[in-house]
Amino acid sequence: MSERDDAHAFLLASDPAMAALAAAHGPVDPYVWADVPPVGGPDDLFGGLALGIVAQQISTAAMLAIFGRLRTLLGGTITPEGVAELSQEQLLSVGLSHAKARTLHQLAEAVLSGAFDPGALRELSDEEAERALVTLRGIGPWSAQMFLLHELRRPDVFPAGDVALRGGLAALLDLPLVPSIEETRERASVWAPYRSYAAAHLWRGLGEVR
């Protein structure tokens, strides 16, 4: 059986609420970011990390618009060399905030200097990779976890700080209030080692409710 089949069988045998959602959706691919086209090839980790930075605290539509303008400004491909050559004013011109522009520029410089190697994250555990990412300025737990999920394709990542994901959990369990990050993390523990798949079902379920 494939990882996806194993994950689907596991969630079908989990708690009734998730089992019902998994049965309704069928097997899912948790590594595809809904409504977001692929950034590049499987080795384009810098572009994936740049996308996560752009995505912080804005809507998917705004993220796609800003990221598209950034990619156009760079001639179609987002590379550390290209980003490092851009001025702060050029980065701001595509719609980035001052903080995000600074984060992208410093990330590019760190990659070019060898101070940070995105490819080396593949050899680390989930916990080690997240710790390495959050040491970078402007990269918090949410950005790190989304990178692990969508770019490193890890099967057991659950970004409990994601507002939509917490909303999906509230909808699934018919809760009167959106659970806290800690409550969400604790509730999701029952879906390990396939929490990435559980997250995909919750995001999809919330979209269907909307």
pLDDT by 10s per residue, the chain, length 210: 799 999 999 999 999 999 999 999 999 999 987 777 666 655 689 999 999 999 998 988 999 999 999 999 999 989 999 999 999 999 999 999 999 999 999 999 999 999 999 999 999 999 999 999 999 999 999 999 999 999 999 999 999 999 999 999 999 999 999 999 999 999 999 999 999 999 999 999 876 655
CB 76 within 8 A of CB 161: no
The angle that helices 16-25 and 3-12 make with each other, rounded to 10 degrees, is 130
Domains of the chain: 3-30+156-209 (1.10.1670.40), 45-150 (1.10.340.30)
pTM of the model: 0.91
Q: How far apart are CA 176 and CA 161, in angstroms?
A: 18
Report, as residue numbers or ranges, the catalytic residues: 162
Residue with tokens 């710790």: 131
CA 21 from centre of chain: 21
**DSSP code of 178?**
P
Tokens of residue 130, six digits: 């997240």
